[in-house]
Copies of this chain bind each other. A is one copy, B any other.
Amino acid sequence: MDLLPLNLGIIGAGRIGQLHAANLRHRIPGARLLMVTDAIAAAAEGCARKLGIPAHGTDYRAILDHPDIQAVVICSPTDTHTEIIQAAAAAGKHIFCEKPIDVDLARIDAALAAVKKSGVLFQVGFNRRFDANFQRVRTAVVQGEIGTPHQVHITSRDPGPPPIEYIRKSGGIFVDMTIHDFDMAQFLVDSPIVELYATGGVRVDPAIGEAGDLDTVVILLKYASGATGIIENCRQAVYGYDQRVEVFGSAGTIRVDNNYPNNAILSTQASVRRDLPLHFFLDRYTDSYITELNDFLGAIREGRPSPVSGEAARVPVVMALAARKSIQENRPVRLAEIG
């Protein structure tokens, strides 16, 4: 193995934790997974057994105390993130944390201050930044292939809504779903977003409205540069996961379509058709999860800055809070009003 090996621990063995664990075990060159913890003992044990991870437990502090572990991957519930970040920073472990850091700006700021003080690398799991399609769009923007960006359009729809119990604890669609698109909006164009106007309704399931949330929203963004952005979200696109982006600029436009399991075109006497797009994020973003962790390890090894810094990851939370306020007051809200 030519790459310097890095020892890691995973905190949280839920769906995304298991995904990262499997990738670190099999797909990330140079990664050594030494321990996994989860508040549910059976989850940690099952994950360790399945992947051959030497140690497991229920208390994340065991990972922070492990002398050989250099970096942690935080996949525990969102409300535990800032506590663990601060503890990990104090223990001198590099940190990869799932999004969002938190939904409370004061807690985020405290965590980021701890990270800054410690000097560890801190990366947030906005995995879509590492998708080949969105990377290509950003490359076009950065390299001037479309000139000065004028209008950004992000289409982001899930194949179906999560269970109502999930919705109730999710913090609302802006924090739970749009947050990825808020990050995409800042990722694609290098100009701060300064104002937004949000509108939306309950069109998929009345139970979502009864739970106090929206399921179908549109957000109009303004960048400091004068460019505008549009995000269209819906909790249900019956044809599958709908993840598209377009950036229009003074020298052209670039757009990416959904990803498909194959590109076969079938012509019959009924229609000319193809199969549905890849169904959901685990299929669509498979490679992006690998790339983000590869980049995390690469940044640690080579002393490069984090590809998704804490400061960048704070912005989508501010935007989500602004969107909520915009909905409540039916007016454009400046991000500076939020903090």
Residues of A within 8 A of B (CB): 1-2, 26-27, 50, 52, 132-133, 135-137, 140, 145-148, 150-151, 153, 155, 157, 197, 199-201, 203-204, 216, 218, 220, 222, 226, 228, 230, 232, 234, 236-239, 242, 248, 250-257, 259, 261-269, 271-277, 330-332
Copies of this chain:
4
Residue of B nearest to A265 (CB): B255
What are 11 A-B contacts with C-beta separation under 8 Å? A132-B262, A137-B264, A197-B220, A220-B230, A237-B267, A252-B269, A257-B263, A271-B273, A272-B276, A272-B277, A331-B331
Complex Cα distance, B264 from A175, in Å, reads: 28
Which DSSP category, helix, strand, loop or mixed, fits chain A's interface?
A: mixed
Complex Cα distance, B228 from A237, in Å, reads: 16
B226-A201 in contact (CB<8A): yes
Complex Cα distance, B334 from A275, in Å, reads: 38
Assess A272 versus B273: contact at CB under 8 Å? Given A133-B263, A264-B255.
Answer: yes
Question: Counting chain B CB atoms within 10 Å of each CB, which of A151, A257, A276, A332 scores highest?
Answer: A151
Residue of B nearest to A148 (CB): B203
Name the distance in Å between A238's Cβ and chain B's nearest Cβ: 4
Residue of B nearest to A198 (CB): B220
Q: Which of B220, B232, B255 meets A248, CB within 8 Å? A: B232
A274-B275 in contact (CB<8A): no
A263-B253 in contact (CB<8A): no
**A133-B264, A150-B234, A239-B268 are known contacts; what are 11 more A-B pairs with Cβ within 8 Å?**
A26-B27, A136-B275, A140-B264, A146-B268, A151-B234, A199-B220, A204-B250, A232-B248, A236-B250, A253-B266, A256-B262
